[in-house]
Amino acid sequence: MDIQEGKQKFIESWGKMASDWGINRTMAQVHALLLIAPEPLTADEVMEGLSISRGNSNMNLRALMDWGLVHKQLKAGERKEYFYAEKDMWTVVRQIIVHRKKKELEPMLKVLDEVANIEPNCPESESFCNVVKDIRMLSSKANQTLDTLIKADSNWFANIFLRMVR
Amino acid sequence: MDIQEGKQKFIESWGKMASDWGINRTMAQVHALLLIAPEPLTADEVMEGLSISRGNSNMNLRALMDWGLVHKQLKAGERKEYFYAEKDMWTVVRQIIVHRKKKELEPMLKVLDEVANIEPNCPESESFCNVVKDIRMLSSKANQTLDTLIKADSNWFANIFLRMVR
DNA sequence: CATAGTTTTCAATTTTTTTTGAAAACAAAA
DNA sequence: TTTTGTTTTCAAAAAAAATTGAAAACTATG
């Protein structure tokens, strides 16, 4: 396999995986393109590299900056903006966790807290309360665990992995 | 808040969360409905309960059975099929991990293995190989960790959580 | 084997999400 | 201030995903 084919495959596969996870496929492809680029790219190069429109390129670059996965770089004497991806994979994982936890886990926890006040006084409400209680416990544990992960450094992270597979 | 409102909120929120995670919203709502039901429901009751069509109800019930999150129950002397959700949350989490790992992580790992053979011999290919190497390592560690999780029992799982938040 | 209750299928439709591209906004240089 | 290169916006179009519902398939029972 040559380098061009490899890049192609990687970008495609990264996009596929992301879309399975509810992330815009193009956003992930822009991310992949920047991840494997040796130098920062301009919005035009991203457009070109993925055959997408200027608007699409711009929007996804901004989304990636929102997620903290891509940064802007200005070159002295140039008007164009350059973009490069965060390449430390532990930081990438951390940023994704931070973002998704805030947007997805926390709202769910809030709803669970709200509905947890219901009185269990019939088979219907008893069944409901049991399930809510269990999910609430699990989610809040997950939430705490993710907080620990976010604060942890990459060595600690590697350690947990090692401990778990041993 | 009364029980009806609570159920409504829970079903909605479970569906929202799932759709953020790339899972069909209705499938998650069917799951939520069955989770909080004190007794198994028929396809008709699911249709009714969520105001969806027969086809939709049927398809999502089958998908949930595919994921191992819902089971069929036949009642003696009745022709209708009844469905109930797996209520042990550790089993639910495990089933979701099994399913998504197979459908999403493993294909990505396969691609990473394929592209890992490329020779790093120019800035372009060097950058590519570095990123691929890192992601490959992380993914394969994640894969191993998930295997351990899948095999683990719920006590062990709770333990890991405890260890991590301590 | 015929009937009736039930589940499954899938082409057509609807809804949701993503993408486009041209115009507007912006900002550096002339 | 005007020109020019660049980024941003967003209504409209396109693409993708989900849903419907009626017909077909299935299956227990008389």
pLDDT for B164: 76
CB-closest option in B16, B89, B144 to A134: B89
pLDDT higher than 90, residue A160: no
Asked whether residue A26's C-beta has any atom of DNA/RNA strand C within 7 A, the reply is yes
| B70 and B144 share one domain | no
pLDDT higher than 70, residue B166: no
- Looking at chain A, the whole-number percentage of residues with pLDDT higher than 70 is 99
Q: B73 pairs with which residues across the strands?
A: B82
pLDDT higher than 70, residue B146: yes
- Residue B30: other Cβ atoms inside 10 A: 32
Between A and B, how many residue pairs show a Cβ–Cβ distance under 8 A? 151
- Across the range A130-145, mean pLDDT stands at 96
pLDDT for B1: 87
pLDDT for B84: 98
3-state secondary structure of A132: helix
Indicate if the alpha-carbon torsion angle A114, A118, A124, A130 is positive or negative: positive
Residue-wise pLDDT for A52-104, tens only, equals 999 999 999 999 999 999 999 999 999 999 999 999 999 999 999 999 999 99
Residue-wise pLDDT for B114-126, tens only, equals 999 999 999 999 9
pLDDT higher than 80, residue A164: no
pLDDT higher than 70, residue B65: yes
Question: Which one is predicted more confidently, A159 or B141?
Answer: B141
Last-in-domain residue among B36, B60, B85: B85
| A76 and A107 share one domain | no
| A55 and A98 share one domain | no
| A80 and A129 share one domain | no
| A69 and A97 share one domain | no
The number of distinct structural domains making up chain A is 2
Q: B24 pairs with which residues across the strands?
A: none
Residue for token digits 């699990």? Answer: A138
Tokens matching residue B66 = 């595919």
pLDDT for B153: 83
| B33 and B107 share one domain | no
- Across the range B44-66, mean pLDDT stands at 98
| B130 and B71 share one domain | no
Q: What CATH number is attached to the domain comprising B57?
A: 1.10.10.10
CA distances (Å), origin B156, targets A9, A146, B33, B151, B152 = 38, 18, 29, 10, 6
Q: Which residues of A touch B145 (CB under 8 A)?
A: 161, 164-165
Residue B30 Cα, gap to closest chain A Cα (Å): 14
pLDDT for A13: 98
Contact A20, B108 (CB under 8 A): no
Residue B36 Cα, gap to closest chain A Cα (Å): 5
pLDDT for A51: 98
- Looking at chain B, the whole-number percentage of residues with pLDDT higher than 70 is 99
Tokens matching residue B14 = 């479970």
Going by pLDDT thresholds of 50, 70 and 90, the confidence category of residue A166 is low
Cα–Cα dist B14/A48, whole Å? 39
Last-in-domain residue among B25, B57, B85: B85
| B65 and B104 share one domain | no
Last-in-domain residue among A70, A85, A100: A85
pLDDT higher than 80, residue B157: no
Asked if A165's CB is within 8 angstroms of B148's CB, the reply is yes
Contact A104, B15 (CB under 8 A): no
How many Å does it take to go from CA A7 to C1' C20?
A: 25
Cα–Cα dist A103/B2, whole Å? 27
Cα–Cα dist B128/A144, whole Å? 35
| B16 and B67 share one domain | yes
Q: DSSP state, B82?
A: E
Taking each helix axis from N to C end, the angle separating B3-20 and A123-151, rounded to the nearest 10 degrees, works out to 40
| A8 and A67 share one domain | yes
Q: Which domain holds residue B133?
A: 89-165
Q: A166 pairs with which residues across the strands?
A: none
| B104 and B38 share one domain | no
- Across the range B129-133, mean pLDDT stands at 97
| A103 and A120 share one domain | yes
3-state secondary structure of B95: helix
Residue-wise pLDDT for A30-52, tens only, equals 999 999 999 999 999 999 999 99
